[in-house]
Amino acid sequence: MSAETAVSTDLGELAAELSEGALVTDRDVIDSYSSDKALFCPVGEALALVRAASVEDVVAVMRFATAHRIPVVTQGARTGLSGAANATDGAILLNVAKLSAIVDIDAVNQTCRVQPGVINQDLKHALAAHKLSYPPDPGSVAISTIGGNVATNAGGMCCVKYGVTKDYVRAMTVVLADGTVTTLGRQTAKGVAGLDLAGLFVGSEGTLGVIVEITLGLTPLLAPPVTGVGIFPDLESAGHTVSEFMASGAAPSMLELMDGGTVGMINAYGDFGLPDGAGALLLVQSDAPGQAGVNELKSFEAIATAQGADEVFFSDDPADSEMLVAARRAVSPAMEKYVSGIGGGELIDDVCVPRSCLGEFFARLDEIAARHSVEVSTAGHAGDGNMHPSVLFDASDPTSVAEAKETFSEIMQLGLDLGGTITGEHGVGYLKKDWLVRELDAGARALQTSIKTAVDPLGILNPGKMLG
């Protein structure tokens, strides 16, 4: 029996266990599912694609994979930016996007149970009808799944006040490498029965198990915010405003930054009411009740003005708020439009530094950009010190590509130099695995590896990603 026949026999065995049509062996379809949105990450040749239609499908895949020692790459909407969902050679791509039911919304206990394939924005809409909110709002909110958000511990613009995905995950049902189905965590508001394994699986990027159901704790429906904008002559004055405003005891529900280049790209992309010629822009919101929200923005105005802001304005009109947030959300498509004119290359970084270091971060980022023949354009979650400098380059020019990679690396090194992390919210995947080794000390690396091995002894879950 040839190797090829053996594989097809094996897949026949798997197909018999799966929902009809779940197994896909068409090469073109497999290839179309083989990568996420990351650049510079290898895309292997997968053995097959399974579009799971049930938890039983997931169990069947994992049993089969364990029996035959086949790698499994779990994926959802493949909107990730780290290559974590990319195919590896000979792997089964286990896509769980079709497991997209909102199982339950419990308004009294302020929880919901969802399958991993639910789109974040769809969940938000469903919850709003019950006067509930699920705050995490990654840039991909309209297209990424809750399962992927949990697998990467996604963040977003809400984090400065409302924290990250991890803060909302109470329990999850997972399928382990050998097909065992187990429920981790607890349904209740509090619970300390045993090691926090639900927490361990949050951010594990498909390396520990396949998440098939999640229980989320929720908040009451968030109140409409007051929104303000500060226009600054440079990043430095914006950075100092962030430090001082946050140190004043402010609790903004959003505090976003864009550099002048980014503002220019947004204005070239559409009219969101942003001024031309800004050196830097801060977008701030407060959802504190009543006058407290307005007072918080007045405090922002005073601090920004003292730091040399050219202009500060704010509004409690929901339409204004929506347009300004839309401007922030337009960073990604605006940058895409811009780079299409310079060769199409965009490599988005995700370092997070202590807020107090933002001024130094921007100064040294300028130095890095000046040393290289690529552009660097920065937006990010200033209130958390989580910056997304994008390296913009000509993807058709090998020199430009090499410079982009070098710039990207120097930005991560800068993050580490300032006591920060190489990734605030996008994850490690393949893109940053060499850098994870630099961030973690030897003890932590060994601990990561031994825990991974304990949970996935055959090493079949998303091998080659994160520390693998």
222 contact partners, CB below 8 Å, separation of at least 6: 133, 135, 162, 253, 287
70 contact partners, CB below 8 Å, separation of at least 6: 47, 64, 90, 91, 92, 460
Among 352, 408, 399, 401, which Cα is nearest to 376's? Answer: 408
446 belongs to the binding site for its own copies (CB under 8 A) = yes
Query: Of 232 and 435, which CB lies nearer to its own copies in the complex structure?
Result: 435
Q: Which of 12, 220, 273, 318 binds its own copies (CB under 8 A)?
A: 220
Residue 124 Cβ vs its own copies, minimum distance, rounded to whole Å = 16
120 belongs to the binding site for its own copies (CB under 8 A) = no
287 belongs to the binding site for its own copies (CB under 8 A) = no
Q: What burial class does residue 3 get, using C-beta atoms within 10 Å of its C-beta: 0-12 exposed, 13-18 middle, 19+ buried?
A: exposed
Contact 241, 282 (CB under 8 A): yes
Pattern 229-268, binding to its own copies, x per CB under 8 A?
Answer: --------------x--xx-xxx-----------------
Which residue shows structure tokens 């710039």?
407
The amino acid present at 396, given as its one-letter code, is S
Q: Which two tokens stand for residue 70?
A: 């086949």
The region of 13-21, 47-55, 216-224, 319-327 touching its own copies under the rule CB under 8 A is 216-224
202 belongs to the binding site for its own copies (CB under 8 A) = yes
Q: Which of 25, 121, 187, 305 binds its own copies (CB under 8 A)?
A: 187
| Radius of gyration of the CA atoms of the chain, in A | 23
Q: Which of 66, 140, 253, 386 binds its own copies (CB under 8 A)?
A: 386
Pattern 290-309, binding to its own copies, x per CB under 8 A?
Answer: xxx-----------------
Q: Which of 108, 125, 341, 370 binds its own copies (CB under 8 A)?
A: 108
Size of the site for its own copies (CB under 8 A): 94
Q: What are phi and psi of 361, to 5 degrees?
A: -55, -50
What distance in Å separates the CA atoms of residue 51 and residue 49, rounded to the nearest whole number? Answer: 6
- Give me the sign of the Cα torsion angle 153, 154, 158, 159: positive
What distance in Å separates the CA atoms of residue 116 and residue 218, rounded to the nearest whole number? Answer: 17
129 belongs to the binding site for its own copies (CB under 8 A) = no
The region of 66-74, 135-143, 341-349, 451-459 touching its own copies under the rule CB under 8 A is 451-459
Restricted to residues 324-353, the positions that interact with its own copies (CB under 8 A) are 352-353
Q: Which of 8, 9, 32, 182 binds its own copies (CB under 8 A)?
A: 182
The DSSP result for 333-345, as a single string, is HHHHHHHHTTTEE
183 belongs to the binding site for its own copies (CB under 8 A) = yes
Contact 422, 439 (CB under 8 A): yes
What distance in Å separates the CA atoms of residue 427 and residue 419, rounded to the nearest whole number? Answer: 18
444 belongs to the binding site for its own copies (CB under 8 A) = yes
Q: Which of 7, 43, 55, 181 binds its own copies (CB under 8 A)?
A: 181
Residue 299 Cβ vs its own copies, minimum distance, rounded to whole Å = 12
What distance in Å separates the CA atoms of residue 392 and residue 343, rounded to the nearest whole number? Answer: 9
Contact 77, 96 (CB under 8 A): no
Residue 132 Cβ vs its own copies, minimum distance, rounded to whole Å = 9
The region of 26-34, 100-108, 113-121, 400-408 touching its own copies under the rule CB under 8 A is 100-108
Q: Which helix (H) or strand (E) segment is 407 a member of?
A: helix 398-417
The region of 174-182, 229-237, 276-284, 329-337 touching its own copies under the rule CB under 8 A is 174-182
The region of 17-25, 52-60, 114-122, 432-440 touching its own copies under the rule CB under 8 A is 432-440
109 belongs to the binding site for its own copies (CB under 8 A) = yes
